[in-house]
Structure 1
Amino acid sequence: MASPGLPSEETRDPTEDQPVWHPAQEWPDEADTTTESDYHPSQSRSEDDESMSNEDDDMTPGRSRGHSNDTEQGAVAEGNEQLNLSGIHIELDEMGGYLEWVSGDELDIDTDDMLVIGETNDPRIERSQLFQLLATTGLREMLYPNGWPYGTERDEFGEVEDYDEEVLSHLIGRRRKPKFVWPKVPSDAGTKLMASGHFGTDPYYVDRMKKRKEVFATNLMRRELGINSHGVRQRANQSICQSMIPGSRADKIIHYDSRSYSGQYSDDGDFFFCCEQDFRVRMYDTSNPYEWKYYKTVEYPYGQWTITDASLSPDNRFLVYSSIRSAAYLAPTDPDDDSDPHELDFSLLPGQARRNAWDLSRAQFGIWSLRFSGDGREVVAGTNENSVIVLDLETRRPVLTLGNRHQGHVNAVCFGDTSSPHILYSGSDDTTLRVWDRRSMGDGREAGVFMGHTDGLTYIDSKGDGRYVLSNSKDQTMKLWDLRNMMSASAADKINPNTYATNFDYRFEEYPEYKRQSHPSDHSIVTFRGHSVLKTLIRCHFSPPGSTNSRYVYTGSEDGQVYVYNIDATLAGTIDVKSATMNSRPRGPDTLSNMWDLGGDMKWRTCVRDASWHPSIPMVAATSWNGWGLSSGTCTVHSWNDGADDDEGDPPIGRSYDHKLRPLPEFNRYQDNPPPSRVHRRTRRPLRSRPVARLDTDDNEEDETGW
């Protein structure tokens, strides 16, 4: 019986060369209907597999195998069209590997990925069946880490190319996965930006007349005297604090019974808010940055899972906050105003009346991200329906909905320019960052797209100049972009954004580094790496112009630290929140029920989800999932202390407080004298995590303990 897919002996011209093979010739819909073309590896195992595997162990790569008897040949037996794989020997070497038959004929992939085929009259299996075997998911996952070719042949836009008859040599032969190479550090583009004055003053600036390096005392004296406060000297005055990175030792540790999701200073530094998983947002007066005062607490009614985001109006009068619902709430920040917050329904359509919060007909999408516009008149939101919605605060109705462009949840949104509401940015799980210009929305498409991340974006931040934007991603990198380098929407439509994504579960898995590959359409300026973006949507920011001269970018991290990078991608410093808070609270009765880890890991763990740099002094407030098994949250305040471990001030630094800034002496005693470490049994729990129960007591009552 002739081998399936090959010419019979009667029709074959013996003087003719072997016919050129094309994959389409052996697809099931075009194969001979009398031939069984489906292949099931589970049905093809030979009874002689064990003996053959023992012989394979003695084979040296590159050597030929002697002929075996007829019963061991990897051929399709007459009358039986199932595939016998016992005669195939597969090995991988540095050049890509080779395939060997027990009959002595060898399939070899040389350095040019050429397929060399043995004698045409030898028994053989269908190549399509062999490739189906090699393409099975389990085997493919085992072969990739060992250098097997990854992916398929793609064009410059990432689309799969069709094979023609001239690419017979690439039959097995998909091109090898190129070796991933990290961008250079320090980045040449970043170094140039630092010298340009857009991101801090060059630290190696030398006085042109005295030929000596500027020092802190000289800068301070000239600022006090008001000498040469223009041009380069003005930037030098602003850069006095730019090298003062806050230390790891915490000034104060504010504890919460649930995980903390975000916390930010106001633009003037006089206000700070912190969002928790118990559906409450706490506000603080930080006009004296070293002596915070509790302001008030607002709550999200009927919230789902957590407070996802919050944003403060430019005049500090209102706070808008959201949960995984289609409505956000707008609350006054005045501590004497105890009125209920106003609902902002982002699901309303033009002309549609407002609906009650319990109306089952309302849309069920959730809001992941919120931002006020620079003029305070609008709020933009990113949703889990892959859309971007702009709501007008005067009418309290959506005025713009941008949908059907993102292919994944919109995790982050912001306005591009603080002086106008025209430019919008949106970052999505589809790995793209899209730029929208509301002045040219006739076709409903974005003005441009940034591609380069290989997994979903977790946060984006604008420098506020309408030019530079920063993004954090689940691919464990942070990238800086310039609007002048963005890709057009039409060019981006030709690329599948998920082509290079690993699609791992960032909440419970580590990043699969062996799957990392470069994105051919990466137009980012600088790539920052070193931090971990796991467990939650970790945030990143530009450092403020006042206290740092915009010299840094910084981000939280799953390993319990805040990473501060220079614009040239070098690490300027870290703030170790985990070390500063270790053992800072005793285990409570709800610790086990609120743990994040499924296995019940009771170790002290810290994940810094957000951080905010004070706009006028070297101080950072870090908002974290923090505690035994990530069961609680903290907001820690870190200031520059010139490397000192302690100070002589009163009260001493590193003390614990509750959410109303009341001292917790029992926490302090526990931290100063922690019990000896002991091994804790890992207990299995049916749920990964759940929010803590909301307290029924009034937040304004003095007798509330919350513990």
Structure 2
Amino acid sequence: MSACQDHHIRLYNTDTLTEQKAFKDVVARDVGWSIVDTDFSPDQRMIIYSSWSNFVHICNVAAEFELHEALDFRPESRHFCLFSIKFSPDSREIIAGSSDNSVYIYDIETKKPTLVVDAHTDDVNSVCFAEDSPSMFYSASDDGICKVWDRRLLKGGSNDAVGVLVGHSEGITHVNSKGDGRYLLTNSKDQSIKLWDIRRMTNPSKIDKGHVPARRYWDYRWEDHSPRNHQGPCKNDTSLQTYRGHRVLQTLVRAYFSPVESTGQRYIYTGSTDGTVYIYDVVSGETVRKLSGHFATVRDVAWHPTLPLLATSSWDCTVGVWEHHRASES
């Protein structure tokens, strides 16, 4: 699936990529500026997309009928965007991170939010579930902090996270779970990816000003990450590993663990502002391969779950498909 600023969402079949033709073209509705995020349901029956809007739209992938429905998140904020949206593992709910500093969980059947968490002090750029159960989830924000949540403890109006992961010195653009409820990674405007183990998370009650990144007055969308904008490493960094080399500017560049079946999750891979895909070794932190060919920022990347194929989405208006074999690492 690719989404473009022309308001089109195109779905491709990975078995027939040589045809370079989408089998379905969805014309997005209620788009403010651009389509911001999309997601496939785990059962592969539905897609969702968001924009600068109060709504997430849900569409069917293939069926005898066409579904294209607006789901109203009913925010209190007038200028509202859901920067990150994800289906729950059972495809029954949507978790979303928003411009009003909150995390929303929306029930698709009842068509209303069932949980709204006042989660951060700045935009929530990314959210994801921790494992196959929808109980644990992560949120990452422009406040430079990643939080670990257990929704079973959020009843009665409590907005307390069970843990906080500190170590980035700038806002976080993306969070991705390994799927085991233990390890996760974050990509950040401080030009690094960090690997975390939630067993080393910090108790939120012990967070003070020394843990929180100082506010920066530079705009990563237009400015370079120059030495005058870089405030150095965080003194209270609890991450396991840090990966550097890629560039995180202009947009919310994303990073992921490689698939279990084809790679054993031994890699972390990410897009970059320099138009390159970087593949890092999880343990050593070294760059094992760079995929070069795009002429503008690679915002998002996706590794096929069983085949040695990667898809990349770039600001040069193309989607790239790449092959990866261990023998080709360099």
Per the normalisation by structure 1, the TM-score is 0.44
Residue 511 (1) aligns with residue 239 (2): no
Residue 320 (1) aligns with residue 320 (2): no
Q: Which amino acid aligns with 1:570?
A: E
Task: Give the conservation status (yes or no) of the 8 Å contact 1:558–1:608.
Answer: yes
CA distance in 2, matches of 1:505, 1:421: 34
Residue 435 (1) aligns with residue 148 (2): yes
Question: Is the alpha carbon distance of 1:421 and 1:493 closer, same or farther for their aligned partners in structure 2, counting shifts above 3 Å?
Answer: farther
> Match of 2:98?
383
> Match of 1:300?
28
Task: Give the conservation status (yes or no) of the 8 Å contact 1:317–1:333.
Answer: yes
The alpha-carbon deviation at position 342 of structure 1 amounts to: 1.1
Q: Which amino acid aligns with 2:142?
A: D
CA distance in 2, matches of 1:396, 1:376: 14
Q: How does 1:177-216 map to 2 (within 5 A)?
A: none
The alpha-carbon deviation at position 503 of structure 1 amounts to: 3.6
Q: Which amino acid aligns with 2:145?
A: T
Question: Is the alpha carbon distance of 1:495 and 1:440 closer, same or farther for their aligned partners in structure 2, counting shifts above 3 Å?
Answer: farther
Task: Give the conservation status (yes or no) of the 8 Å contact 2:130–2:137.
Answer: yes
- 1:575-599 superposed Cα distances (whole Å, 9 cap, x missing partner): 0023xxxxxxxxxxxxxxxxxxxxx
CA distance in 2, matches of 1:513, 1:364: 33
Q: Which amino acid aligns with 2:149?
A: W
Residue 634 (1) aligns with residue 318 (2): yes
CA distance in 2, matches of 1:523, 1:331: 40
Residue 392 (1) aligns with residue 107 (2): yes
The alpha-carbon deviation at position 561 of structure 1 amounts to: 0.3
Q: How does 1:399-410 map to 2 (within 5 A)?
A: 399-403=114-118, 405-410=119-124
Task: Give the conservation status (yes or no) of the 8 Å contact 2:211–2:235.
Answer: no
CA distance in 2, matches of 1:640, 1:486: 34
> Match of 2:289?
573
Residue 620 (1) aligns with residue 310 (2): yes
Question: Is the alpha carbon distance of 1:534 and 1:436 closer, same or farther for their aligned partners in structure 2, counting shifts above 3 Å?
Answer: same
Structure number with larger C-alpha Rg: 1
Q: Which amino acid aligns with 1:634?
A: T
Task: Give the conservation status (yes or no) of the 8 Å contact 2:95–2:127.
Answer: yes
> Match of 1:488?
203
Q: How does 1:122-271 map to 2 (within 5 A)?
A: none
Q: Which amino acid aligns with 1:316?
A: Q
> Match of 1:231?
none
Question: Is the alpha carbon distance of 1:543 and 1:333 closer, same or farther for their aligned partners in structure 2, counting shifts above 3 Å?
Answer: same
Q: Identify, as 1 or 2, the structure richer in helix.
A: 1
The alpha-carbon deviation at position 616 of structure 1 amounts to: 0.9
Task: Give the conservation status (yes or no) of the 8 Å contact 2:168–2:213.
Answer: no
Q: Which amino acid aligns with 2:70?
A: E
CA distance in 2, matches of 1:493, 1:311: 35
Q: Which has the higher contact order (CA 8 A, sep 6+)?
A: 1
The alpha-carbon deviation at position 307 of structure 1 amounts to: 0.5
The alpha-carbon deviation at position 290 of structure 1 amounts to: 5.3
Equivalent residue in structure 2 for 1:533, among 228, 248, 251: 248
Task: Give the conservation status (yes or no) of the 8 Å contact 1:285–1:295.
Answer: yes
Q: Which amino acid aligns with 2:280?
A: Y
Q: How does 1:553-632 map to 2 (within 5 A)?
A: 553-567=268-282, 568-578=284-294, 605-626=295-316
The alpha-carbon deviation at position 509 of structure 1 amounts to: 1.1
Residue 426 (1) aligns with residue 148 (2): no
CA distance in 1, matches of 2:9, 2:30: 14
The alpha-carbon deviation at position 547 of structure 1 amounts to: 1.5
Q: Could you tell me which runs of 5 or more consecutive residues in structure 2 were left unpaired when the two chains were aligned.
A: none
- 1:271-311 superposed Cα distances (whole Å, 9 cap, x missing partner): xx101112221111223565565221112222101100011
The alpha-carbon deviation at position 553 of structure 1 amounts to: 0.3
CA distance in 2, matches of 1:429, 1:348: 19
The alpha-carbon deviation at position 494 of structure 1 amounts to: 5.3
CA distance in 2, matches of 1:331, 1:503: 39
Q: Could you tell me which runs of 5 or more consecutive residues in structure 1 were left unpaired when the two chains were aligned.
A: 1-272, 350-361, 579-604, 627-632, 644-707
**Could you tell me the percent identity over the aligned residues?**
40
The alpha-carbon deviation at position 337 of structure 1 amounts to: 3.4
Task: Give the conservation status (yes or no) of the 8 Å contact 1:432–1:457.
Answer: yes
CA distance in 1, matches of 2:226, 2:307: 39
CA distance in 1, matches of 2:39, 2:107: 15
Q: Which amino acid aligns with 2:130?
A: G
SS at match of 2:95: strand
SS at match of 1:453: coil
Task: Give the conservation status (yes or no) of the 8 Å contact 1:504–1:512.
Answer: no
SS at match of 1:534: coil
CA distance in 1, matches of 2:302, 2:279: 12
CA distance in 2, matches of 1:486, 1:299: 42
SS at match of 1:287: helix
Equivalent residue in structure 2 for 1:412, among 122, 126, 131: 126
Residue 463 (1) aligns with residue 182 (2): no
CA distance in 2, matches of 1:533, 1:423: 27
Q: Which amino acid aligns with 1:639?
A: E
Q: Which amino acid aligns with 2:50?
A: S
Q: Which amino acid aligns with 2:264?
A: N
> Match of 2:237?
522
- 1:291-346 superposed Cα distances (whole Å, 9 cap, x missing partner): 5652211122221011000111111100011001121000001165334x111111
Task: Give the conservation status (yes or no) of the 8 Å contact 1:577–1:606.
Answer: no
Question: Is the alpha carbon distance of 1:562 and 1:298 closer, same or farther for their aligned partners in structure 2, counting shifts above 3 Å?
Answer: same
The CA RMSD over aligned residues, in Å, is: 1.9
CA distance in 2, matches of 1:510, 1:538: 15
Q: Which amino acid aligns with 2:315?
A: W
SS at match of 1:497: coil
CA distance in 2, matches of 1:536, 1:465: 28
CA distance in 1, matches of 2:75, 2:174: 26
CA distance in 1, matches of 2:205, 2:231: 27
